[in-house]
């Protein structure tokens, strides 16, 4: 079954508005989620709507909030999302970074209380379109821990995604965009398998006793953890990347795993 992107975008905007968001915020969120689906990144597309509804019900996401730039120095800035939709926060952070980099040649922007930023590749694309080289390191402020350290079986880290964007300046048809979780798969992929009932790849996750975890229902109920990128053999590489993302994201945003253990992510 094929559905026109415009129809999905309009429907999604209506849903987000029904959750309490103003029309402009709903349009931006809908455009972001629909584009993720259009690109085949369904784990970060409209399937996220139930999560957003749960976050709003729990008070972890404020559909009326808007992000703001709360501090600036030479080449530095921090954006406070105020628990708004992450798509709003991500867009403001990139716009701020582009502006600061054009003024001083380089910029670093941290995000705090950013919520779910969606597909990080969207922000890499936005920066590259602005003729900027982009590097992003994302943690979750201690929330949504579902990844085990290399050789371990307990949830200690989040999926801590990283993203990079390099403008091609017309040398090739598209800018160079890289976006991936530092775990074997993004957490939303597990959620998708939970919804569809499909078994997990045996190399994605571990049970609490070190066995291969196949049933997404067990993972959702709290058993086991995702493996770091590289799995049981080479997971030290993904684990190292996750630690770097945790530290750099924590420094920039002001919060990292270990300081507290919230139910929801905040960076």
Q: Looking at the structure, tell me whether residues 154 and 253 fall in a common domain.
A: yes
Q: Which domain, by its residues, includes 43?
A: 5-57
Backbone angles phi, psi at 247, to 5 degrees: -70, -50
Domain of 201: which CATH number?
3.30.1370.60
Q: Looking at the structure, tell me whether residues 149 and 251 fall in a common domain.
A: yes
Residue-wise pLDDT for 174-204, tens only, equals: 999 999 999 999 988 998 899 899 999 999 9
CB burial of residue 213 (10 Å; 0-12, 13-18, 19+): buried
φ/ψ bin of 79: left (φ > 0), alpha (ψ from -120 to 50), beta (otherwise): beta
Domain of 34: which CATH number?
1.10.1530.10
Q: Looking at the structure, tell me whether residues 142 and 52 fall in a common domain.
A: no
Residue 38 inside a domain? The answer is yes
Residue 248 inside a domain? The answer is yes
Residue-wise over 102-135: b if at least 16 C-beta within 10 A, else e? eeeeebbbbbbbbbbbbbbbbbbbbbbebebebe
Residue-wise pLDDT for 111-134, tens only, equals: 999 989 999 999 999 999 999 999
**pTM more than 0.85:** yes
pLDDT at 41: 92
How far is Cα 226 from Cα 151, in angstroms, rounded to an integer?
12
Count of positions (residues) in the chain = 267
Residue-wise pLDDT for 25-68, tens only, equals: 999 999 999 999 999 998 899 999 999 999 999 999 999 999 99
Summary mean pLDDT of the chain:
93
């Amino acid at each position: 079954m094929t559905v026109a992107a415009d129809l999905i975008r309009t429907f999604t905007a209506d849903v987000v508005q029904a959750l309490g968001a103003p029309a402009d915020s709903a349009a931006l969120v809908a455009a972001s989620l629909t584009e993720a689906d259009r690109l085949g990144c369904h784990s970060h597309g409209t399937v996220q709507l139930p999560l957003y509804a749960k976050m709003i019900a729990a008070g972890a996401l404020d559909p009326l909030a808007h992000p703001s730039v709360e501090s600036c120095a030479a080449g530095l800035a921090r954006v406070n999302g105020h628990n708004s939709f992450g798509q709003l926060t991500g867009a403001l952070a990139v716009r701020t970074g582009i502006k600061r980099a054009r003024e001083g040649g380089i910029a670093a922007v941290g995000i705090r209380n950013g919520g779910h930023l969606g597909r990080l590749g969207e922000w890499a694309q936005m920066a590259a379109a602005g003729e900027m080289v982009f590097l992003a390191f994302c943690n979750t402020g201690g929330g949504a821990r579902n990844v085990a350290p290399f050789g371990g079986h307990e949830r200690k880290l989040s999926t801590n995604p990283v993203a990079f964007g390099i403008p091609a300046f017309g040398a090739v048809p598209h800018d160079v965009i890289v976006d991936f979780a530092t775990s074997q798969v993004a957490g939303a992929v597990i959620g998708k398998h939970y919804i569809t009932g499909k078994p997990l790849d045996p190399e994605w996750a571990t049970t609490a006793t070190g066995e291969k975890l196949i049933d997404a229902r067990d993972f959702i109920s709290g058993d086991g953890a995702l493996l770091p990128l590289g799995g049981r053999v080479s997971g030290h590489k993904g684990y190292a990347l996750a630690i770097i993302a945790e530290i750099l994201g924590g420094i920039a945003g002001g919060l990292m795993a270990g300081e507290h253990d919230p139910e929801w992510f905040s960076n």
